[in-house]
Amino acid sequence: MNNHFRAEYLKDVLSRFHRLKELGDRAIDQVSDEQFFTTLNSEDNSIAIIAKHMAGNMRSRWTRFLESDGEKPDRHRDREFEIDLKTTRSTIIKDWETGWSLLFTAVKALDPQDMDVKVRIRGNQYTVLEALNRQLIHYALHIGQIIMLAKHFASDTWKTLSIPRGQSEEYNRRMREQ
C-alpha cells in the first residue's frame, strides 16, 4: 500500500467518523430526555445505553491507541448497559463528547506509515487499518440503532438526516448542476 493511498484513507476514515458523530448528534437532538432513556422492550437498549456503550468503547479503544491494548482493564463493559438513578442525559453526552474527542485526536495523530503497525484489542493483534475499519463498522451499527430509535420516538416531528422522501430526483438534479 503506497503512502498516498494511506494518507487518503486516513483523511477519508476521519471524515466518515465525523459524519457518524454528526448523524448521531442530530438524531439525539430530536428526542426528549424521557425518550433518550426509553427502551422498546426489556431486551432492547435505549439511546442512552447505546451512547453510554459507545462512549465507554471509544475511551477504551482510543486512549493510548498505539501503545496499549484497546480493551483497558478499567473499562467494565457490562456497566455500560446499566442506567442508574444518578445517570443523566448530560453525563452521558459529556462522556459521548469525550469519547469522540479521543477518537478524533488519535486518528488525526496517525501517519500514513502507521497503517501496518500492530495494535491489540482484547489481546488480539490488528493492523491500524484493521482496527480503524473494525471501529468504523461498530460505530456505524450503533449510530444506525440510535437513528432508528430517535426516528421512532420523534415520529411525525422527525427531521430527516438525509434526502427527504419524494425528493430524490430534485436532489439528484441539484447535485448534477453543481
Q: Can you give the pLDDT at residue 1?
A: 65
Distance CA 154, CA 140 (A): 21
Q: How far is CA 71 from CA 21, 23, 43, 56, 65, in A?
A: 22, 26, 25, 10, 10
Find the DSSP H helices in 32-117.
Answer: 33-37, 47-62, 89-108
pLDDT (tens digit per residue) in 109-140: 999 999 999 999 999 999 999 999 999 999 99
Domains (range + CATH), the chain: 3-177 (1.20.120.450)
Of 4, 16, 21, 13, nearest in space to 129 by CA: 13
Q: Can you give the pLDDT at residue 172?
A: 86
Grid coordinates of 75: 473499562
pLDDT (tens digit per residue) in 144-165: 999 999 999 999 999 999 888 8
28, with CB counted inside 10 A (0-12, 13-18, 19+), is buried
* pTM for the predicted model, two decimal places: 0.93
Q: Can you give the pLDDT at residue 7?
A: 96
Q: Can you give the pLDDT at residue 50?
A: 98
pLDDT (tens digit per residue) in 43-100: 999 999 999 999 999 999 999 999 999 999 999 999 999 999 899 999 999 999 999 9
Q: Can you give the pLDDT at residue 81?
A: 94
User: How large is the average pLDDT for residues 37-46?
Assistant: 95
Q: How far is CA 77 from CA 45, 58, 81, 83, 175, in A?
A: 14, 11, 8, 13, 43
Grid coordinates of 157: 416531528
